[in-house]
Structure 1
Amino acid sequence: MRKWLPLLAACLGSFMLLIDVTIVNVALPDIAADLGTGLSGLQWVIDGYALALAALLLMLGSLADRFGAKPTYLIGLALFAAASLGCGVAGSAGVLVAARAAQGIGGAAMLATTLSLLHATYTGRDRGIAFSAWGAVSGAAAGVGVVLGGVLTDLLSWRWIFFVNLPIAVVAIILSAMAFGPSPRRADRRVDFAGMLSFTLAATAATYGIIRAGEHGWGDRGAAVALIGGALALVTFIVIESRSAAPMLPLPLLRGAGFTATLIAAAGMSFAAFSSSPLLSLWLQQYLHLSPLRAGLSMLPLSVCAFLVSGVFGRLLHDVAPKWTIGGGLTLIGAGSALLTIIDTGSSWAATIPGYLVIGVGVGVMAPPLVAVGLAAVPPHQSGTAAGAINTARQLGLALGVAVLGTVFRNAGSGKTPTHGFIDGLNSATITAGVIGILAGTLVFTLYSRSDRTTPAAPAPTPEPAHLA
């Protein structure tokens, strides 16, 4: 039993950071009422976390290489716990968003090192068992998050969706300190701080500009300055990465159609499948008057369907070309998101079931092979960086998706009665998610078809430890 303590420590940390992606969704109406914030503030509650994860994941993988995976993981756990406490006691939306961003920093340190620690701890058959168990726990986190968020918000308050992290973090820290051995360090490993800073500025400025445009209009000077600044920061990032001796994201990786397709698929999945969840949560609670728990349960079909499809059919799809599993799965997700537009002023929560089931099938088909296919498209010595980039794309897709769909929602509902405006805005947001999913799926299908390096979803090569997530 003692040999599985490291696995337990890794699963506790990963479960905690991953449920915090979804656990806030059903608590958003209570947060808005308690802190007196509107849609823009709620968008940042989600995006502050997702952006920090996206921006820092690759850099923290490099830091873990230099200073050791174990201390990096322990620092991440401690920061996540402290930030969770800050979220729970936040008295304003600004403080909550700042604490959520700090949570994201801690989460990035944990996500960048978890599988590295498992890889170093286990060998042979035990390593396969450990990775499988970690994957199952990670896959279940999204579904558990919405239900746990509903239970805690219903029985206690929204603040307990953050307080619950504290005892979990304490146990994870104690177990990790005891169970994981010393981590190797590479003192010569360079850290691309300039690349990290420019990427962070680009992602944050773009997200801020989109959210501000939704609130104040596209002619708003602040929105325009942010979007232009984001574009300039992105150009700067590309220049830095092209000249850096140790780039955060080696640009030659993007020359391969297979890897580029995988990044687009990762971002597209998060955008099309999950970015509309905050708006749907508001509809379920503010307009259908469901409790947070019932709202969470009504959103569960997506996660349950994805879990069942990936578990039952994952092995059968092992030898299917990625253009069908990943490109086809993403197209299914887009179709499912478009199905959510059947919601009208007289709809019940059951109107979401067809769309959620189709989205769940798409996620269940495309998610299992996604990382393996991406890693097969790059040289083995860059597999860790590639895995980190794929997870970065996932979080960036979620952050930009929440910003874009919130802006579409505002614009479509403007000037109408509250109920009709909300429904029109919601339908415009879900159809936008659907169109993005279908277009991204078509592009991914085409890129995989052109790639001569991408193979079917074979077992992933051994990753470069500190970056795999």
Structure 2
Amino acid sequence: MRKWLPLVAVCLGAFMLLVDITIVTVALPDMAAALDTTFADLQWVMDGYALALAALLLGAGSLADRVGRRAVYLGGLVLFAAASLACALATGPDQLIAFRVAQGVGGAAMFATTMALLSGAYQGRDRGVAFGVWGAVNGAAAAAGPVLGGLLTEHLSWRWIFYVNLPITVVAVLVTVRAIKESRDPRAPRIDVPGMAAFTLAAGALTYGLIRAGDAGWGDGATLGPLAVSAVATVVFVLIELRTPHPMLDLSLFRSRSFTAIMIGGVLLAFAAYSCLAYLSLWLQSVRGMGPVAAGLAVVPMSVAAFVVSALTGRFLHGVSPRLTIGGGLLLVGVGALLQSFVNADSTWTVLLPGLVVTGIGVGMSTPVMASAAMAQVAWQRAGMAGGALNTGRQLGNALGIALLGAVFQAGLLRVLHDGHALPDAERAAGAVSGGRAQSVIADAAPEERASVAHEVHAAFASGLQDALLLAGCAGLLGGVIVLVLMRRPDPAADSQGHRPAAEPAAAAPAGTS
């Protein structure tokens, strides 16, 4: 039993950081009521975490190689726990957002080191078992997040979705100190700090601009300014990576059109499959009146389908070309989002069920082979960077999806409220409804007008969801087409620099996670 303690330590950390991607979604309406948040605040509560993960994953891996993987993992655990406590004690949206970013920094340190820690702790058959358990635990985390968040929010309070991390972290730290030995790479290159800074600025400014577009409009300076900063920072990042001897991301990887297709597919998979879940949760609770537990259970079919299909794909489709499983899976993700877009003013949660299941099947088909396929397209010396880049792309896709789909959602909601006549102040009503306070808008109406106000609010929210889900569906279909058209068998150049060692399991979140 002692030999499996490193696996326990790694799985505890991975479970927490992946659960915290989805556990927040069902708590959003309660957060909105307690902290008087705007819709943009709710977006940042989710995006702050995802952006920190995306921006720091590659850099955290480089830091771990230099100073020690166990040290970075322990530091990530401690920071994650401290930030979780701060989130639980937050008294305003600004505090909560800042501490969610800090959580993401700790999560990046943990996520970037888990694979290396397992590789160092196990060999041969034990390593295969360890990675199999690790993948199963991570898949379970995605399914458990909405349900666990619903249970804690409904029976305790939303603050307990953060408090629950504290005892888990204590156990993880104790087991890590006792069971995992330190390891580092004495030949590890210097950390690409300028590249990391430019990438973080580009991703953060782009996300900020997209979120501002929902409030200020696409032509406003508050939107165009951050988008321009993002464009400049992106150019600077490319120039830095081309000139530095030890880049955070070797841009020559993108000479392989297959690798490029997989990266685009990874970004669009997260965008299409996961970014709308928060808005579905708001609809289920604030409009349809479901409790947090019921809302969490309503979206679980997607995670369950992904988990089951992922296992079946690994068993029965391992000989099928990754081009077909990844491309076909993305097409199903797109179809699933389009099926969910049939929601209307009178719909109940059951309208989502077929689309969620189809989306889950697509995720289960495409995710398990995506990272290994990306790594197979590059020289073996860059396989770790390729896997990390894919993880970064998926987290970035989720963050940008939350921002862009949120802007589209707001525009659709506001359009219906402007066209209607039940609410005199459409702008104010839109802010309240999108911020999770639909029931209060209905309750504040005069008794004789309450029915018409309720119908208009329901129709407006459904319209916003339709637009967002249609865009998500198109993104999934586009990703599938790109993979099917561009992806080929592994490039011969991948093996040109010497024999490729036996493939390690990919450093990527399993099916059911973003």
- Answer yes or no: same fold by TM over 0.5: yes
Of 428, 440, 444, the residue aligned with 2:483 is 444
Number of equivalenced pairs: 465
Q: Counterpart in 1 of 2:323?
A: 323
* Contact 1:373–1:460 (CA under 8 A) maintained in structure 2: no
Q: Secondary structure at the match of 1:290?
A: coil
Q: Counterpart in 1 of 2:467?
A: 428
What does 1:314-353 align with in structure 2 at a 5 Å threshold? Answer: 314-353=314-353
Q: Counterpart in 2 of 1:403?
A: 403
**Separation (CA, whole Å) in 2 of partners of 1:425 and 1:454:** 46
Letter in 1 for 2:469: T
Shift in CA distance, 270/453, structure 1 to aligned 2, threshold 3 Å: farther
Deviation of the 1:184 alpha carbon: 2.6
Shift in CA distance, 4/406, structure 1 to aligned 2, threshold 3 Å: same
* Comparing 229-238 and 251-260, the one that deviates more: 251-260
Q: Counterpart in 2 of 1:305?
A: 305
Letter in 2 for 1:27: A
Deviation of the 1:462 alpha carbon: 4.0
Shift in CA distance, 442/460, structure 1 to aligned 2, threshold 3 Å: farther
* Contact 1:383–1:463 (CA under 8 A) maintained in structure 2: no
Deviation of the 1:421 alpha carbon: 1.3
Q: Counterpart in 2 of 1:217?
A: 217
Q: Does 1:419 align with 2:458?
A: yes
Q: Counterpart in 1 of 2:13?
A: 13
Deviation of the 1:452 alpha carbon: 4.4
**Could you tell me the percent identity over the aligned residues?**
52
When normalised by structure 1's length, the TM-score is 0.96
* Contact 2:265–2:482 (CA under 8 A) maintained in structure 1: no
Deviation of the 1:309 alpha carbon: 1.0
Deviation of the 1:187 alpha carbon: 6.5
Q: Secondary structure at the match of 2:315?
A: coil
**Separation (CA, whole Å) in 2 of partners of 1:381 and 1:101:** 32
Letter in 2 for 1:443: I
* Contact 1:27–1:292 (CA under 8 A) maintained in structure 2: yes
Unpaired stretches in structure 2, ≥5 consecutive residues = 418-455, 495-499, 510-514
Shift in CA distance, 464/337, structure 1 to aligned 2, threshold 3 Å: closer
When normalised by structure 2's length, the TM-score is 0.88
Letter in 1 for 2:394: R
**Separation (CA, whole Å) in 1 of partners of 2:225 and 2:106:** 30
Letter in 2 for 1:437: G
Letter in 1 for 2:255: R
**Separation (CA, whole Å) in 2 of partners of 1:286 and 1:441:** 33
**Separation (CA, whole Å) in 1 of partners of 2:356 and 2:505:** 35
Q: Secondary structure at the match of 2:341?
A: helix
Deviation of the 1:426 alpha carbon: 0.6
* Comparing 318-327 and 21-30, the one that deviates more: 318-327
**Separation (CA, whole Å) in 2 of partners of 1:148 and 1:423:** 26
Deviation of the 1:188 alpha carbon: 5.4
Deviation of the 1:310 alpha carbon: 1.2
Q: Secondary structure at the match of 1:378?
A: coil
What does 1:229-378 align with in structure 2 at a 5 Å threshold? Answer: 229-378=229-378
- Give the greater-gyration-radius structure (CA): 2
Deviation of the 1:321 alpha carbon: 1.2
List per-residue Cα deviations over 1:127-172 (Å, max 9, x = no partner): 1100110011011111100100000001100000000000000100
Q: Secondary structure at the match of 1:328?
A: helix
Q: Secondary structure at the match of 1:253?
A: helix
**Separation (CA, whole Å) in 2 of partners of 1:127 and 1:454:** 29
Q: Secondary structure at the match of 1:112?
A: helix
Deviation of the 1:221 alpha carbon: 0.8
* Contact 2:371–2:508 (CA under 8 A) maintained in structure 1: no
* Contact 1:336–1:355 (CA under 8 A) maintained in structure 2: yes
Q: Secondary structure at the match of 1:199?
A: helix
Deviation of the 1:219 alpha carbon: 1.8
**Separation (CA, whole Å) in 2 of partners of 1:348 and 1:461:** 50
List per-residue Cα deviations over 1:248-297 (Å, max 9, x = no partner): 00010011112111111111111000100011000000111000000000
Q: Counterpart in 1 of 2:442?
A: none
Q: Counterpart in 1 of 2:144?
A: 144
**Separation (CA, whole Å) in 2 of partners of 1:108 and 1:28:** 23
**Separation (CA, whole Å) in 2 of partners of 1:454 and 1:442:** 24
Deviation of the 1:35 alpha carbon: 0.6
Deviation of the 1:189 alpha carbon: 2.3
Letter in 2 for 1:214: G
* Contact 2:216–2:222 (CA under 8 A) maintained in structure 1: no
Q: Counterpart in 2 of 1:392?
A: 392
**Separation (CA, whole Å) in 2 of partners of 1:328 and 1:182:** 41
Q: Counterpart in 2 of 1:29?
A: 29
Letter in 2 for 1:9: A
Deviation of the 1:453 alpha carbon: 5.1
Q: Counterpart in 1 of 2:94?
A: 94
Deviation of the 1:234 alpha carbon: 0.3
Deviation of the 1:338 alpha carbon: 0.6
Letter in 2 for 1:255: R
Q: Secondary structure at the match of 2:318?
A: coil
Q: Counterpart in 2 of 1:41?
A: 41
Letter in 2 for 1:129: V
Unpaired stretches in structure 1, ≥5 consecutive residues = none
Q: Does 1:80 align with 2:119?
A: no
**Separation (CA, whole Å) in 1 of partners of 2:91 and 2:208:** 22
Deviation of the 1:419 alpha carbon: 2.1
**Separation (CA, whole Å) in 2 of partners of 1:351 and 1:186:** 55
* Contact 2:345–2:458 (CA under 8 A) maintained in structure 1: yes
Q: Secondary structure at the match of 1:189?
A: coil
Q: Does 1:162 align with 2:201?
A: no
Q: Secondary structure at the match of 2:289?
A: coil
**Separation (CA, whole Å) in 1 of partners of 2:175 and 2:404:** 41
Q: Secondary structure at the match of 1:113?
A: helix
* Contact 1:381–1:464 (CA under 8 A) maintained in structure 2: no
Deviation of the 1:464 alpha carbon: 11
**Separation (CA, whole Å) in 1 of partners of 2:328 and 2:508:** 26
Deviation of the 1:223 alpha carbon: 1.1
Deviation of the 1:65 alpha carbon: 0.7
Letter in 2 for 1:439: L
Q: Secondary structure at the match of 2:320?
A: coil
Shift in CA distance, 463/194, structure 1 to aligned 2, threshold 3 Å: farther
**Separation (CA, whole Å) in 2 of partners of 1:316 and 1:261:** 24
* Contact 2:149–2:296 (CA under 8 A) maintained in structure 1: yes
Q: Secondary structure at the match of 1:305?
A: helix
Deviation of the 1:186 alpha carbon: 2.3
* Contact 2:379–2:493 (CA under 8 A) maintained in structure 1: no
